[in-house]
Amino acid sequence: MHATEMPKFYALPPFLAGRISEEAYVRWLRRKCAAHVKRDRKRSAHAITGIDYRAKMHSAVCASDGRDFYTGEPLAWELIGTYSNEDSKAGRSTYKAGLALLPTVDHVLMEDGPYDFVVCAWRTNDAKNDLSHAEFIDLCGRVVAHAAQRPESGF
């Protein structure tokens, strides 16, 4: 097997056929796995014990049907692999806004304790930050409730 190939278990999900190449998907999946492993090792050594990152992330992608787990919005899978640090520094918030629907992977701590992953937009993941799923939903509910109670503020 060539170094860039993955077992067919990690083949391109059907909803991505014709949108991105299997090679682009494999590269994205590997990079996401590597980033999460590195982050988890820094945060907590026990967090990575027994987790098959690639299998869990691939499963999350397949379950997503190409949509943001939290908002249901279709994700812009064509944007994977296009992020540029240089362009981001130069364009700042304008550049970031153009990548709002870039797919990414979010950690979720399941109620019974183990970690899992969901796929969401970069914008959603950025807004959620380090909140648990329940905390994020609660925050969103409070934002919506508050917005409904006040007259338009002109923002």
Token look-up 């153009």 returns 98
Q: Say what the pLDDT of residue 43 is.
A: 74
- The DSSP 8-state label assigned to residue 49 in this structure reads T
Question: Measuring CA to CA, how many Å separate 119 from each of 8, 46, 114?
Answer: 20, 23, 17
For the chain, give percent helix, strand, coil, nearest 5.
55, 10, 35
What pLDDT does 42 receive?
80
Give the per-residue pLDDT at 1. Answer: 46
Is this model's pTM higher than 0.85 or not?
no
* Domain ranges within the chain, ordered by starting residue: 8-127
Cβ–Cβ < 8 Å for 75, 119: yes
Instruction: Give the residue-averaged pLDDT of 22-38.
Output: 93
Q: Convert the pLDDT of each residue in 42-59 to its tens digit.
A: 876 555 566 788 999 999
H or E element in which residue 121 lies = strand 115-121
Q: Who has greater pLDDT, 7 or 103?
A: 103
Is residue 110 pLDDT above 80, yes or no? no
Owner of token pair 């945060």: 43
d(CA 111, CA 50): 17
- Specify the pLDDT at position 13: 96
